[in-house]
Chains A and B, each alone.
Chain A
Amino acid sequence: MNSIVQYIQSYLASDKTPGAAGNMFWALVYIMLVFVGLSVAVIAMNWLERKILAHMQVRLGPMRVGPHGLLQPIADAIKLLLKEDIIPAEADGLIFWMAPFIVVLAAFTVFVVVPFGPTHAITDMNIGILFMLGVSSLSVLGIVMAGWASNSHYPLIGALRSSAQMVSYEVAMGLAVVSAILMTSLNATGTGTLSMIGIVQAQQAQGEWFIFKFFPLGLIAFFIFAVAMVAETNRAPFDLAEAESELTAGFHTEYSGFRWSLFFLAEYSAMIAVSSIAVTLWLGGWLRPFPNLLSGGIWELVFSFFPGVTFLFFAAICFYNTVRMPKHPLFRIQTIGLAAFGVVLALIGLVLFIPAVSMRVQDIFWFATKVAAFMYLYIWYRGTFPRYRFDQLMQMGWKVLLPMGLGVLILTASVALLQQKLWHP
């Protein structure tokens, strides 16, 4: 009994991720946490996207299911689960069945190496970033399978577009990633790392996020990645594979119900995954902003309040809207529900003020905040940009981003070499 308790406790003092420490129990706990957290994030993202997009478009968005439509994603999920599972008669059954699972698997597996904090990752691999890029690009396989197996024209065109798009953007994306990895080798030993945690630690050690490194080289590499990642996830303005007005729904035209919702889930978790890569490589991962400028005990304390304050802020929004709810008895349950939601958020916020807790979740908070900023960008793009045409997209991938990526890589390498040879011989 004691040994079990010890085994469970053993990880808490460790400075490694549970996977790297070989602690199966905590690894499992983390897997559960990541899975649940990701699902919640996708649900929240669904609601936020509708709401934010709606407000950009002078409308209200979901308002009926729950206060301010808060329960809409759940209602939709239930609806999708209850829908009839249709496999078209002419479809290739097995491949049609497998495709959404491959897409979901690819989208979720990448989170094995995503570092939410120095110890908050399922595991730390020495090839972390390669693993992430490799696995996340597997999803195109699922998309092509879905398009092919549907045995229908629109999905086929959607799948073709998707595969061509992935191929042309992954190269530029890879080059941008390599230039960031090069930057990790700017230390005394001159060895870089592919480990996701190592990359963030390199930024910490160099005292600079890679986006600002060798200005503007880091910024350009980040920009290339930021464009390529939108294309990679098939989101507006690169949502050609599922262009609604052209291909009805693209590769998932023939899918419905639960299978369709798997594609949906995969799309959003892929968005979170690529945003995590961008945050890890260029925006300092879990590191808080201004560690050099605003250092010292007081600032540490101030920044440790951020998670709690954020949740209290959300709670305050809830309470504000509770007061503004219509006073009609029909809205009573909704008003109570919104108040209860606010109370839950406030309680979470208060818990986050406890030093022991805030110490441990601070890195997760900063990481999540940065990812959330990317999520907002995704929604913003969708509300602003028209859709690129197929050939224009390829043109941009091959003729603009690829040469830019190569140039940035060569320049970064040269500057890094010069710096090592000249300034630190």
Chain B
Amino acid sequence: MTESDSALSHLDLETPEKPFLDANELVINMGPQHPATHGVLRVILRLDGEKVLGLECVIGYLHRGVEKIGEHRTYTMFNPYVDRMDYVAAVSNGLGYCETIEKLLNVEAPPRAQYVRVILTELNRIASHQLWLGTHALDIGAITPLFYTFRDREEILKIYEKYCGARLTTHAFRIGGLQYETYAGFEQDVRNFLNFFLPKIDEYEELLTTNRIWVERTRNVGIISGKDCIALGVTGPVLRASGVKWDLRKAQPYANYKNFDFDIPIGQNGDTYDRYLVRVAEMRQSVRIIEQAVEAIPEGPIMAKVPKVIKPAVGEVYHSIEAPKGELGYFVVSDGSTQPYRVRVRPPSFVNLQALDKMCRGQLVADVIAVIGTLDIVLGEVDR
């Protein structure tokens, strides 16, 4: 038995529980059109009454062949495509891709570009967590937080719009730095947003953190241990809520995250409530990072010396960043031509989705909804 086998063996995913009193088990098809599957996820549930005996995810309804498209575009042309994977965190996707190609080319973006990248990426993390919070609360039945988070997310999107003209699929970064210099008043806009946003986090927390029903609905729901998370490859806030202090921004600093002072919030129980607390705490940490970055933004060029036609030497590179949903990795193989030989994406949502079955066994139907919400998946990224 190899070591990886022993790591997975304790998961015991193959033996479902016996139905209670031989009751007929009910097989329900949840999705792909369902209000709470965050897109077009299809889940086949096996139920005993309301109890989940097991489930299977069927994915691929949003498959657009992003990785294959990458093989037929030049390195520069492929850049906007990655925005369409995790469309609520497009900036993070772009950062990951640009840094990967920079690593392949052996160039580094100039300091000013690095700072702007950090600011925009952390804003994006906030926006992604806001969208998650709103929809997660909506799934559990609290309809009001959704509108609060969307109201505040709008301010972030406005900054993006002013910076690069797009709000959602921003294509904000270029290989080697930035295409656009920041607009006049960018720093002030970001500072204004931070001042506006900090009290809003308290507002969300006021609605949910101590709400009795919210706590009852999320505490001890969808528990997953840190060990299981590692065995399944789960990363991001889900992993951290299970008590594993693993954040790529600290573990293998990329961009210039080593210059900033921030904490990694972790949970203890690995339940839905902890994942909620971790993500809310992460929003506060992102605010801290942006505060430091916006004060320290240096002057200087925004583009490194990158040839017009990008033709990396033969080779391969893997680079991963801490996207809002977990480890977002790019594996790019170059055959020396202008187009990548292979672009492989390691999407956090796809890997995290594996844990769904493990987290839902023995829980109720209502918990499946809560767990899908708490995994924070984006189907664009799962299917690519």
**How large, as a class, is the contact surface on chain A?**
20 to 34
Contact B140 A387 (CB under 8 A): yes
- Interface residues of chain A, those whose CB is within 8 Å of chain B, are 53, 56-59, 153-154, 157, 160-161, 236-237, 239-240, 243-248, 382-392
Contact B36 A57 (CB under 8 A): no
For this complex, 9 residue pairs linking A to B, each with C-beta atoms less than 8 Å apart, are A53-B143, A57-B143, A58-B151, A245-B36, A245-B141, A246-B369, A386-B142, A387-B140, A392-B217
B contacts with A: majority SS:
helix
| Distance of A229 from chain B, by nearest CB (Å) | 17
Contact B366 A56 (CB under 8 A): no
**How large, as a class, is the contact surface on chain B?**
20 to 34
| Distance of B373 from chain A, by nearest CB (Å) | 9
Q: Which residues does chain B contribute within 8 Å of A59, judged by CB atoms?
A: 147
Q: Which residues does chain B contribute within 8 Å of A161, judged by CB atoms?
A: 50
Q: Is B310 an interface residue (CB 8 A)?
A: no
Q: Which residues does chain A contribute within 8 Å of B147, judged by CB atoms?
A: 57-59
What is the CA–CA distance of A273 and B60 in the complex, to the nearest angstrom?
A: 48
Q: Beta-carbon contacts of B190-229 to A below 8 Å, as 1s and 0s?
A: 0000000000000000011001011011000000000000
| Distance of A172 from chain B, by nearest CB (Å) | 18
Known interface pairs A57-B143, A386-B140; 8 further A-B residue pairs with C-beta atoms within 8 A, sorted by A's residue number: A57-B147, A160-B49, A384-B207, A385-B211, A386-B142, A388-B217, A389-B216, A390-B50
Contact A389 B142 (CB under 8 A): no
Q: Which residues of B in the span 10-33 have a Cβ within 8 Å of any Cβ on A? A: 26, 28
Closest to B373 in A: A245
What is the CA–CA distance of A237 and B212 in the complex, to the nearest angstrom?
A: 12
Closest to B26 in A: A153
| Distance of A99 from chain B, by nearest CB (Å) | 21
Contact residue among B26, B213, B365 (Cβ-Cβ distance under 8 Å from A387): B213
Top-5 shortest CB links A-B: A387-B141, A57-B147, A245-B36, A386-B142, A386-B141
Q: Is B139 an interface residue (CB 8 A)?
A: yes
Q: Which residues does chain B contribute within 8 Å of A390, judged by CB atoms?
A: 50, 364-366
Q: Is B257 an interface residue (CB 8 A)?
A: no
Q: Which residues does chain A contribute within 8 Å of B208, judged by CB atoms?
A: 386
| Distance of A163 from chain B, by nearest CB (Å) | 13
Q: A153-B26, A153-B28, A245-B139 are in contact. Are A384 and B144 (CB under 8 A)?
A: yes
Q: Is B138 an interface residue (CB 8 A)?
A: yes
Contact A243 B366 (CB under 8 A): yes
Q: Is B274 an interface residue (CB 8 A)?
A: no
Q: Is B35 an interface residue (CB 8 A)?
A: yes
Q: Which residues does chain A contribute within 8 Å of B26, judged by CB atoms?
A: 153
What is the CA–CA distance of A153 and B211 in the complex, to the nearest angstrom?
A: 31
Q: Beta-carbon contacts of B361-373 to A below 8 Å, as 1s and 0s?
A: 0001111010000
Q: Which residues does chain B contribute within 8 Å of A384, judged by CB atoms?
A: 142, 144, 207
Contact A388 B216 (CB under 8 A): yes
Q: Which residues does chain A contribute within 8 Å of B364, judged by CB atoms?
A: 389-391
Q: Which residues does chain B contribute within 8 Å of A154, judged by CB atoms?
A: 28
Q: Which residues does chain B contribute within 8 Å of A247, judged by CB atoms?
A: 365
Q: Which residues does chain B contribute within 8 Å of A388, judged by CB atoms?
A: 141, 213, 216-217
Q: Which residues does chain B contribute within 8 Å of A157, judged by CB atoms?
A: 28, 50, 365
Contact A392 B50 (CB under 8 A): no
| Distance of B188 from chain A, by nearest CB (Å) | 25
Closest to B372 in A: A245
Q: Is B302 an interface residue (CB 8 A)?
A: no
Q: A157-B50, A157-B365 are in contact. Are A385 and B217 (CB under 8 A)?
A: no
